[in-house]
Amino acid sequence: MQQLVFLGPGLVFFLVIVLVPFLLGFYYSFTDWNGLDLDKAKWTGWSNWKRIFYEDDNFWSSFWFTVKFTAVTVAASNILAFLLALALTRPLKSRNLLRTVFFVPNVIGGILLGFIWQFIFTKGFATIGELTGWPLFQLPWLGTPETGFWGLVIVFVWQTAGYMMVIYIAAFAGVPQDLIEAAHMDGANYWKRVRHIIVPLVMPAVTVCLFLTTSNAFKMFDLNLALTKGGPGTSTQSLAYNIYAEALNNNRYGLGTAKAMLFFFFVSVITMVQVWLTKRREVEA
Amino acid sequence: MEKRYNARLAALEIGVLALGLLFLSPFYFVIVNSFKTLREILLDAARLPEVYRFENYRDVWEIIHFPQVFLNSLMITTLSVACIVAAGAMAGYRLARRPTAFNRFVFVLLVSAMIIPFQSIMLQLVRVTSLLELRGNLFGIVASYLGFGLPMAMFLFHGFVRSTVPLELEEAAIVDGCSPFGVFWKIVFPMLRPVMVTVVILNTLWIWNDYLLPVLIIGGNKELTTIPLAVTRFFGQYTKQWDLALAGLAIAVAPVILFFLLLQKRIVEGVAAGSLKG
């Protein structure tokens, strides 16, 4: 009875909303479901999977785009966040104000950010280009695959860095002051203290941040939709966007589901690597 | 550690301040241009407007039905977060206090489900919610958020109950004749406040800004349109009309920025706590 009251409500919705659809996915990925009439969806065996692996170049270019995007943004946003956290734990006068400033982009969702930056890239950059004459701003931003890619990277890093900075700052606060003082006495300069004391002690936070950025970057969708719509052409289409487009634009839900299941597989691999890395470090420590 | 404010720190301060300004510059562009005519914007997007035109705001306010979409966002977010907190706290508490084989299985199931990306279930979810008539109504969208939000909330509450809530207190209350539900709601629930703040903040930011789930679940029901949906629809209709579009973006972004500035300290703490524990 108590069991039912305490667990029941949450569990029912979890089963209906998450678990059942997830399990259904395995079945749908073997059908030619068109999104409308499920009764007419025929079992098509491995045909969706064969199509993905042998014919769907678009999916694989999305895959490589997403991998490249993830690698670049994870490195860039974590380096920036770490440096910001270091700077903003020094006794600066505007420290609290700046922490707020760098965090703000984070509370705005990807959709609105994407639209804001569409304006910045197309009109704002053009104006800056005219005023300064710097060729970087005179590029056709978002108009080519390269500028589209870097445009997405810039906005993603701009959005993510503040969040990771907050996590790093919280981790720095846990580093014992006397340890740093002692190193200082022993003549270790600032960067030596960072490298040999702070970095090893905040490794758990580094792992968390690397994982969060990797998984967010790999699953990027909103920003993609609002900023480039995957274009020009499909050159900046993320994996998540490719799945969405396959189903909702092409009405190939069966194929879309197969891709979605593959997407789940990729994300699980990333997660398992993360868990494995964390466990391994705990053993060493 | 150098404690004194010296020249090197001053230089660092100037450098970081400059970077801060660069971070804020997109907002400058949005606000400044939202008061201009389209011609003025295209001529020079960096300059301050010659005349501040509030007409852009008035027009867009009506076009996207701002009061209504704002209330929709507010209602959906509040109800969903309330349900997630209540169900998450109850489940987390129960799973922490009664670790039977079944409950341990449920715990592992919920935690593992956190890996599943939304895109992997969204198509089937559309199907399931249509079948159960959960699509296009308020109950359906709240139910969906509850389903997706439950695992993480449960996980955070579970950890907090195990590490912080003293079992003796509950036992004493039972001896005094308090019912198990009384123990939970009157004694345990109020003690969960710190972790509740984290759960509320993380879920509020997620649901308020979410786009894909409402698109799929609310879809055609215009009466439930949320802010991200309204803005996206608006951009589809008024492409390149930047004067209206930017005013619309400014209105759309304002509530969440305000929310952040008011609860800043809590939000930043909540984010740090949620990530380091999760």
The predicted complex's ipTM stands at: 0.87
- On whether residue B235 sits in a domain, the answer given is yes
Residues B105 and B210 in one domain: yes
Phi first, then psi, for residue A43 (nearest 5°) are -70, 125
Domain match, B104 and B175 both: yes
The answer for residues whose C-beta is within 8 angstroms of residue A49's C-beta and 6 or more apart is A29, A258
In a domain? residue B74: yes
Tell the burial category of A206 from Cβ atoms under 10 Å away from its Cβ (0-12, 13-18, 19+). middle
The conformation of residue A31, written as its DSSP 8-state character, comes to B
Boundaries of domain holding B42 = 7-53
Q: How many domains does chain B have?
A: 2
**Bridge-partner residues for A31, per DSSP?**
A43
Q: Which residues of B touch A226 (CB under 8 A)?
A: 232, 235
A264 touches chain B (CB under 8 A): yes
- Interatomic CA distance for residues A133 and A125, integer angstroms: 11
Note whether A107 and B257 are within 8 A (CB).
yes
What pTM did the predictor assign? 0.90
B228 and B106 in a common domain: yes
Whether residues B65 and B47 share a domain: the answer is: no
Domain borders along chain A are: 22-55+252-285, 57-232
**List of residues 6+ apart from A138 with CB closer than 8 A:** A126, A129
Helices (H), B45-113: 55-63, 66-97, 101-113
pLDDT < 50: residue spans in chain A: 285
B1 in a structural domain: no
pLDDT at A39: 64
Judge: B276–A127 Cβ closer than 8 Å, yes or no.
Answer: no
The fold of the A57-232 domain, in CATH, is MetI-like fold (1.10.3720)
B27 belongs to a structural domain: yes
In 3D space, the residue among B200, B59, B253 whose CA is nearest the CA of residue A226 turns out to be: B253
Looking at residue B225, which CATH number applies to its domain? 1.10.3720.10
Residue B117 falls inside a structural domain: yes
B72, B48: one domain: no
CB nearest B5 (choices: A91, A101, A123):
A91
Query: How confident is the model over B69-97, as pLDDT tens digits?
Result: 999 999 999 999 999 999 999 999 999 98
Given a cut of 50, the residues of chain B with pLDDT beneath it are 1-2
Calpha distance B146→B133 (Å, rounded): 16
Which pLDDT does position A37 carry in this prediction? Answer: 64
Residue B2 lies in a domain: no
Which amino acid type is present at position A248?
Answer: L
Q: For A123-166, write each residue's pLDDT tens digit.
A: 888 888 888 888 888 888 888 998 999 999 999 999 999 999 99
**What pLDDT score was predicted for residue A262?**
92
C-alpha span between A223 and A110 (Å, rounded): 5
For residue B277, CA distances in Å to A168, B89, B160 come to: 14, 16, 10
Question: Are residue B48 and residue B86 in the same domain, yes or no?
Answer: no
Instruction: Give the residue from B198, B200, B174 showing the smallest Cα distance to B186.
Output: B174
Q: Which residues 162-191 of A are in CB contact (within 8 Å) with B?
A: 163, 166-167, 169-171, 177, 180-181, 184
**CA-CA distance, B2 to B6, in Å (whole number)?**
9
Is residue B45 located within the same domain as residue B159? no
Q: Which of B26, B154, B257 sits opposite A10 (nearest CB)?
A: B154
B215 lies in the same domain as B87: yes
Residues 168-227 of B with CB under 8 A from A: 180-181, 184, 205, 208-212
Report which DSSP code applies to A21. H
My answer on whether B27 and B81 are in the same domain is no
Say what the pLDDT of residue B204 is: 92
Query: How high is the pLDDT of residue A239?
Result: 92
